[in-house]
Amino acid sequence: MGHLMADDVTTDATRFGLPVRVVPLVKAGVVLGIGLGGFVDGIVLHQLLQVHHMVSARRPPTTMAGMEANVVADGLFHAGTYLFTIVGIVLLYRAWRHPAVPPAGRTIFGSVLMGFGLFNLVEGVVDHHLLVLHRVWPAGPGPPLLWDVLFLLSGVALLVGGYAIARSDSAVASER
């Protein structure tokens, strides 16, 4: 899935049910969505609601040392999401400059939602279940597993919904 070739533009080639010529937009949107998904998670859950921090299951933030460790881990997490966001913006800029890539707003929006969903799925599986770095809402109503599963289901919903939106883009739908 490197650069678009002339044959890609003139054929009915598709990738994952989307025209090949919108693949650069999809890549950009997914990467941008991963970054934005991380920012929403970090800002809303870690900072505003403070329901968990990055390593709060391993280093409870109940002491100054524990809180310092979590603040550093949260900062590193935000640095990573910042990098994904910047790379997504660069990819989006490059896609928009390519003459073969159509201006397809719903494709971009849907792809950002797919990236957000992918973030929730990967972060949920890796951080909540495999590494057990933290739980979504360990002190919330109901068992912590409930919130972890709801987080994963939100990822599935964002991924599937984003894909449906991207496929429905009238700027590219006639090419399928």
H or E element, residue 14: strand 14-15
- Encode pLDDT of 96-122 as tens digits: 999 999 989 999 999 999 999 999 999
CA angle 52, 56, 62 (to 5 degrees): 95
Q: Which residues of the chain have pLDDT under 70?
A: 1-12, 171-176
State how far Cα 141 lies from the chain centre.
26
pLDDT of residue 12: 60
Which tokens go with 91?
A: 């990819």
pTM of structure: 0.89
For the chain, domain boundaries: 21-173
Tokens of 27: 């890549």
